[in-house]
Amino acid sequence: MLSYLHAFHAGGPADVHKHAALAALIAHMTAKDKPLTYMETHAGSALYDLAAPEAVKTGEAVQGILRLEAGRRLPAGHPYAQALAAVRAKHGKTAYPGSPLLARALLRPGDVMHLMELHPREFEALRARMRGPKTHVHRRDGFEGVLALSPPTPRRGLVLVDPSFEVKSEYDDAAAFVVELHQKWPEAVIALWYPLLPAGLHQGMCEAIEAAGLPRLSRREAVFNDPAATRGMHGDGVLVVNTPYGVADALKAAQRLCSSLLG
Ligand SMILES: C[S@@+](CC[C@H](N)C(=O)[O-])C[C@H]1O[C@@H](n2cnc3c(N)ncnc32)[C@H](O)[C@@H]1O
Ligand 1 in contact with 97 (CB < 6 A)? no
Q: Is 254 part of any domain?
A: yes
Of 18-32, 62-76, 78-92, 236-250, the poorest mean pLDDT is in 62-76
- Whether residue 225 lies inside any domain: the answer is yes
Instruction: Output the pLDDT for position 71.
Output: 87
pTM above 0.85, yes or no: yes
Q: Residue 52 and residue 149: Cα distance in Å, rounded?
A: 35
Residue 95 is assigned to a structural domain of this protein: yes
For residue 251, give the CATH number of its domain. 3.40.50.150
Q: How many domains does the chain have?
A: 1
Going from the Cα of 81 to the center of ligand 1, the distance in angstroms, rounded, reads 23
Whether 171 is covered by a domain: the verdict is yes
Residue 253 belongs to a domain: yes
Domain for residue 1, yes or no? no
Q: Which of 133, 212, 182, 163 is nearest to 43 (CA)?
A: 163
| Whether residue 162 lies in the annotated active site | yes
The residue whose CA has the least distance to atom 10 of ligand 1 is: 164
Per-residue pLDDT tens over the stretch 141-173: 999 999 999 999 999 999 999 999 999 999 999
Long-range contacts of 77-86 (CB under 8 A, 24+ apart): 78/20, 78/23, 78/24, 79/23, 79/24, 79/26, 79/27, 79/106, 80/19, 80/20, 80/23, 80/24, 80/254, 82/23, 82/106, 83/19, 83/23
Q: Is 124 inside a domain boundary? A: yes
- Range of 106's domain? 6-262
What is the CB neighbour count within 10 angstroms for residue 12?
31
- Kindly give the distance from the C-alpha atom of residue 39 to the centroid of ligand 1, in angstroms, as a whole number: 13
In sequence order, the 6+-apart residues with CB closer than 8 A to the CB of 98 are: 6, 10, 43, 44, 45, 46, 47, 48
